[in-house]
Amino acid sequence: MEPEKKGKTLWEMLLERVHGNTNGAGIAFANPLDLRVGSAVPIAFANGPEFTHYNFTAQEIREYNRRIGDQEFRFTDYILRGVNAKSPDADDTLAARLRVVPNQSGAHDSLLLRLYDEFEFAEDFLAVVKDTTGLFKVTDDATGAETTFARINDLRESYQAAVLVVSETTPDGKAATGKVAPAKIEYWDYWRDADIGGGKTAKEFIFVEMNSDTGWFQIWRGREFFS
């Protein structure tokens, strides 16, 4: 008897999308905000004073695809670069992401994330995110205050995502042929109720990502995006 044929993995399907496009028409991808690489992305003051004076543009678009059970779930990151319009220093920039996730109502929710830290692979840090408590603690360098985040929905396992990295788009919003790359990302998600004054709280998020090929870690931190 022949062995049962298994369905294709997300990674295999992603590679087919990247390498199977030979007609030059571009690759369709999840682009809920209909942005292009190079598009200006205004950040309202309501998102925080730290974004004031920065002009943001989309440098790259990343489509994440993960599988939960037998279902696929996609979301999109718009990789932003902010240049301080009030600074004479051309290197005065700010790295951010606008993460757009479909919701149950058929619309989408958006988070504005800042790059909190990044570093090469470290076994001891991997042990932190794999810790069975599901907690992630952040210490403020200036005050020494410690903030604790917990895994979203009390999960413990990481997510494995097949990511389409788009560095150039066509006028009709597709990924330009030859300007895409695949990436394998393992990530962990956390949240907490942050005090925003007046007796109110808002969810604050942390996402820890590890590139499965290079081991490079990035930590992204942020809240709901106000357009």
11-34 exposure pattern, b = at least 16 Cβ within 10 A, e = fewer: beebeebbeebeeeebbebbbebe
The amino acid that residue 222 corresponds to is G
Inside any domain, residue 2: no
Q: For the chain, how many structural domains are there in total?
A: 1
Q: Is residue 87, in this structure, part of any structural domain at all? A: yes
d(CA 165, CA 59): 11
- In a domain? residue 205: yes
Residue that is written with structure tokens 């292009």 in the block:
36
Of 87 and 112, the one with more pLDDT: 112
Helix, strand, coil shares of the chain, percent, nearest 5, are: 10, 50, 40
Residue 161 lies in a domain: yes
Judge whether 1 lies within some domain: no
For residue 116, is it within any domain?
yes
Residue 42 in domain: yes
Non-local (6+) Cβ contacts of 119 within 8 A are 125, 216, 217
Structure confidence by residue, pLDDT tens digits, 144-158: 889 999 999 998 999
- pLDDT tens column, 36-62: 999 999 999 999 999 989 999 999 999
Domain that holds residue 49: 10-224
**172 within a domain of the structure (yes/no):** yes
Q: pTM of whole model > 0.85?
A: yes
